Amino acid sequence: MDPLFDFTGKVVLVTGGSRGLGKEMVLAFAERGADVIITSRKIDNCEAVADQVRGMGRRALAIGAHAAKWPEIDAMLDKAYAEFGRIDIAINNAGMSPAMPSPDVTEALFDSVVGLNFKGPFRLAAVVGKRMMEGDGGVIINVSSSGAIIPMPGIVPYGASKAALNAMSRSLAKEFAPKVRVNVLSAGPFLTDIAKAWEPEQRETSTNMIGRPGRPEEVVTAALALASPHSSYITGAFYQADGGI
């Protein structure tokens, strides 16, 4: 085990952890010794990933919860703390980005996007951050998007909600310092399930510096680096894993 990325004995929570970037992060931490809590709306998918983790010899807890609804977030956290007693690393990864012309966005859709991308992550970070402050500290990683920093018509509520997430992260980093580190992992285009709706050319090329979308496993090193105890001097940071946008 590389000592810089040894998470033996750590407890990691990942929302949206049953697929895409979240699943890759779950497996990466488990491979490096962590026990994990996997949560998403579909408990069966969470259990499938949990079984993979248990196959590595690590403990895993699957919890079905909607990451935008505060009562479900609170109940999920109660289960997590009852099982493990603590959370060392919390990753707010769940999100949604429906493409739609702005005049066609309904109030219900707007509320759903903001709820999942900002309102829910705020609640989780606030509650977990307080518990970390009362304990031995910890790390919170909020997964954002390049859509928060570049013009992207057609997904305006998404970009705006991720921009709010970015601002929230810096404020919480200050509020919970020095025991809790809070950072942003800003993801660019990745070939997750959402890419199935892209045009074939979009799945092959990109306007970023690398010239292509990322493979899901390529997000792993960013998450590991931000979570590592050896990154103890990094907080309030905006870490881009986007191929150079």
Q: What positions carry a catalytic annotation? A: 158
Q: What is the Cα 167 distance to its own chain's centre?
A: 16
Question: Can you read off the two tokens belonging to residue 143?
Answer: 């997964």
Task: State the DSSP code for 137.
Answer: -
Residue 189 identity: P
Angle at 143 between CA 138 and CA 147, to 5 degrees: 155
d(CA 25, CA 84): 19
3-state secondary structure of 63: strand
Nearest to 121 by CA among 184, 58, 181: 184
Residues 6 or more apart in contact with residue 228 via CB below 8 angstroms: 4, 5
Nearest to 119 by CA among 182, 63, 161, 176: 161
d(CA 216, CA 25): 9
Question: Can you read off the two tokens belonging to residue 135?
Answer: 């304990």
Residue 188 identity: G
